[in-house]
Amino acid sequence: MTRVEIAIVGAGFAGLGMAMALRRAGRDDFVVLERADSVGGTWRDNTYPGVACDVPSHLYGFAAYPNPNWSGTFARGEEIRDYLEDVARREQLGDRLRLQTPLISADWDAEESAWRIRTGGAGGADVILADALVLACGRLTEPEIPDIAGLETFPGPLFHSARWDHDADLTGLRVAVVGTGASAVQLVPELAALAAQVTLFQRTPAWIVPRDAHAFTPDDRRRFAEHPDELARLRAELLDEGEARFASRSGDAAASAAARTIALDHLRAQVPDPALRAVLTPDYAFGCKRVLLSDEFYPALSGERVRLVASALASVDGNTLIAADGTVHEVDAVVLATGFASTRQPYAQLVRGEDGQSLDEHWSNGMTSFGSTVVAGFPNLFVLNGPNASLGHNSSVLMIEEQADYVVESLSRRHARGVLRVSPEAERAYTAEIAAAAEHTPWLTGGCRNWYVDERSGRLTLLWPGTVDAFRRRLSRADGSEFLPAAAEDARTGAA
């Protein structure tokens, strides 16, 4: 058994960001538990053709580790994974990083005032006692497999885009892609150049705006490396541009109308066929679903190798796919670009608080928290990239860094206050605050179904309904009063 001050679960952006913040605060008694054999999170797991970030590369990184060597305005997936591996090396996390060590369970041990964490994996079963537990597991980690009748009868290659089967040679095959979200928009043009035919099942069209990507030349990269002040200015400009996008995503009438016009002009310019344009035009508010960026998707759909089915996939019978509109399609391979279990996080089933309730049970009506980071009933527990910590307009790394700073600040109060127990009233008030801010936004009123909203309660539980600066200001107002005073803790535990 191992005893540490802090256990971090996950070694993607959130886990590494938390480790960096602890190190800078002089806290070195921690471990990072990672179920896979390397760091990288989403960018380790998603290796489908064309995978890339839709946040500008020079904003999609840690402030302490600017990268002058990004290949272009939007980094490829493998570049981001390499970047995270480099950060782990430069942070010298080798002795703190436990790879191939999945979380089996985490239970609050009242007698020890610590989290009793069971792990498994290649290193064998172990128990870790941690004074504090940070869940940095990511929000898009477990693929969502749709419930489609007969899917199990399909005889050919069948896999989710986030679990790409690189042993499956799709060259010259008839390939079906199910879904038209962010992953599909990136991979369909790649498959169109490879497969004999791509059949794309579209339940709902997406709002798509120009990507306007370009490569950085060797001179650009050399200039960024030699002039870090220029790189810092670029990052600041990109941050401001991202913050300005919040208005169009959140329902500001003028900004939304302008962005909608850009998207429709983009569609009109790239899709000459009016019938195809009609089925690619969303009938819901701009920003209601994730806004996508692409300059290749529409031309691919206009080409001879891609057939758009403006209907969901309803059933499968061997190699025959039947759409909800009744059309029948013969294919050789199926790629499920159907998203992730986002509103109901899989790790929540593994974590039990001081009353024996699991985090999943506590979140049975949708995720709740204070500060998008701490949860009532779960002492000394912190969740990064969890409730209302995602963004639809800017870099999620910015949110992670703010949350990590909040964790460090909260931990500094622990020794003075004893165990950190979030006040249920503080959690209720913050949840009400989120609901009020989200009430009239397109995410709730825009006429679409999105992964930001918990279908059990109809609440916005994934997105932060404001700018990054607003989140920073909100956390800066957290003065520790969100935690129960030591006297209340003593009364709860029966301490003298």
DSSP 394-413: S-HHHHHHHHHHHHHHHHHH
Residues 419 and 455 in one domain: yes
Q: What is the pLDDT of residue 121?
A: 86
**What is the C-alpha to C-alpha distance for residues 406 and 409, in angstroms, rounded to an integer?**
5
Do 108 and 180 belong together in one domain?
A: no
Residue after which a domain boundary falls, among 310, 336, 362: 336
71 and 114, same domain (yes or no)? yes
Residue 489 is predicted with a pLDDT of 52
Residue 216 lies in a domain: no
What DSSP letter does each residue of 437-481 carry, written as one string? HHTTSHHHHSS---TTB-TTT--B-SB-SS-HHHHHHHHHT--ST
Share of the chain above pLDDT 70, in %: 97
Cα dihedral: 229, 235, 236, 239 (round 10)? 180
State the average pLDDT over residues 134-160. Answer: 94
What is the CA angle 282-286-289, rounded to 5?
80
Q: Which of 279, 303, 336 is the last residue of a domain?
A: 336
Given a cut of 80, whether residue 486 has pLDDT beyond it is: no
How far is residue 191's CA from residue 184's CA, in Å, rounded to a whole number? 10
Q: What is the mean pLDDT of residues 149-154?
A: 97
**Within a domain: 432:** yes
Residue 246 lies in a domain: no
CATH number of the domain that residue 381 is part of:
3.50.50.60
pTM value?
0.95
Residue type, 6: I
pLDDT digits (tens, 9 = 90+) for 24-56: 999 999 999 999 999 999 999 999 999 999 999
Instruction: Indicate whether 155 and 299 sit together in one domain.
Output: yes
Q: Is 328 found in the same domain as 348?
A: no
CB 421 within 8 A of CB 446: no
Whether residues 475 and 363 share a domain: the answer is yes
User: Is residue 495 very low, low, confident or very high in pLDDT (cuts 50, 70, 90)?
Assistant: very low
Residue 478: partners with Cβ closer than 8 Å, 6 or more residues away: 370, 371, 406, 409
Q: Of the residues 309, 336, 363, which one is the last residue of a structural domain?
A: 336
Nearest to 132 by CA among 21, 31, 234: 31
Q: Is residue 463 part of a domain?
A: yes
- Its sign, for the CA torsion 168, 172, 174, 180, is positive
User: In the structure encoding, which two tokens stand for residue 68, read together?
Assistant: 């002058």
- Mean of all residue pLDDT scores within the chain: 95
The pLDDT score that the predictor gives to residue 275 is 97
pLDDT tens for 201-260 read 999 999 999 999 999 999 999 999 999 999 999 999 999 999 999 999 999 999 999 999
CA–CA separation, 9 and 188 (whole Å): 33
pLDDT tens for 69-121 read 999 999 999 999 999 999 999 999 988 999 999 999 999 999 999 999 999 98
Q: How many angstroms separate the CA atoms of 283 and 286, rounded?
A: 9
Q: What is the total count of domains within the chain?
A: 2
| Same domain? 348 vs 310 | no
Task: Tell me what pLDDT residue 466 has.
Answer: 98
Provide the pLDDT confidence category of residue 337 given band limits of 50, 70 and 90: very high
Q: Are residues 90 and 8 in the same domain?
A: yes
Residue 487 pLDDT level (bands cut at 50, 70, 90): low
| pLDDT category of residue 496 using cuts at 50, 70 and 90 | very low
- State the pLDDT at residue 97: 96
- 228 domain residue, yes or no: no
Distance CA 266, CA 261 (A): 8
Mean pLDDT of 165-185: 97
At residue 488 the predicted structure's pLDDT band, cuts being 50, 70 and 90, is low
* Per-residue confidence (pLDDT) for residue 414, from 0 to 100: 81
pLDDT over threshold 90, residue 342 = no
Instruction: Indicate whether 218 belongs to any domain.
Output: no
Asked if residue 476 and residue 356 are part of one domain, the reply reads yes
Beta-ladder partners of 463: 390
Residues 195 and 127 grouped into a single domain: no
405 and 364 both lie in a single domain: yes
Size (the chain), residues = 496
The Cα–Cα gap between 496 and 494 comes to: 6
CB atoms closer than 10 angstroms to residue 295 = 15
Is 124 a residue whose pLDDT tops 80?
A: no
Q: Are 271 and 280 in contact (CB under 8 A)?
A: yes
One domain for residues 189 and 313: yes
The predicted pLDDT at position 59 comes to 98
Run of H or E residues at 126:
strand 126-135
Nearest 5°: the CA angle 278, 280, 281 is 70
Instruction: Give residue 164's domain range.
Output: 151-207+252-336
**Residue 241 included in any domain:** no
The answer to whether residue 238 sits within a structural domain is no
